[in-house]
């Protein structure tokens, strides 16, 4: 089990570790904010999900995935798995935007995906190194 826990690379500087910690918390806060918007029934979010052909239940499910991913991301032993969950969610968001919206709307999920991919690389478990 130890081999599957998330750990930063050996020899990483304190500055890099602190920057990664701050970035993890900022990205997690972003996903919690989105989840709150989804759960609160924000009319814009609900309208977008309907326009994309998704049900209100899927909107609530998405919010749950956002919260679970954010919690796992900030919990160091499971950061890799939180990042993987959020990366999957973002890939779905990118796919949805490509299929239903102007191309410019893809930029936000892609920009959020970049630090998530960096987290996947930085916090990958020993078993994957």
pTM for the model: 0.93
Q: Assign 3-state DSSP to the chain and report helix, strand, coil percentages, each to 5.
A: 80, 0, 20
Confidence bin at 2 (pLDDT 50/70/90): low
Confidence bin at 1 (pLDDT 50/70/90): low
Q: How far apart are CA 92 and CA 85, in angstroms?
A: 11
- The two tokens of residue 126 are 């020993």
Q: What is the pLDDT of residues 46-91, one digit of tens each?
A: 999 999 999 999 999 999 999 999 999 999 999 999 999 999 999 9
Burial (CB count <10 Å: 0-12, 13-18, 19+), residue 28? buried
DSSP one-letter code for 75: S
In the chain, DSSP finds a helix count (H) and a strand count (E) of 5, 0
> What are the residue boundaries of the structural domains of the chain, listed by start?
12-128
């Amino acid at each position: 089990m130890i081999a599957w826990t998330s750990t930063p690379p050996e020899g990483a500087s304190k500055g890099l570790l602190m920057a990664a910690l701050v970035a993890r918390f900022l990205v997690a806060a972003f996903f919690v904010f989105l989840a709150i918007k989804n759960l609160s029934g924000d009319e814009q979010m609900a309208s977008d999900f309907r326009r994309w052909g998704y049900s209100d239940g899927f909107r609530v499910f998405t919010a749950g995935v956002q919260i679970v991913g954010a919690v796992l991301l900030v919990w160091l032993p499971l950061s890799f798995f939180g990042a993987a969950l959020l990366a999957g969610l973002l890939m779905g968001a990118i796919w949805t935007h490509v299929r239903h919206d102007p191309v410019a709307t893809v930029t936000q999920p892609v920009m959020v995906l970049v630090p998530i991919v960096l987290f996947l690389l930085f916090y990958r478990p020993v078993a994957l190194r």
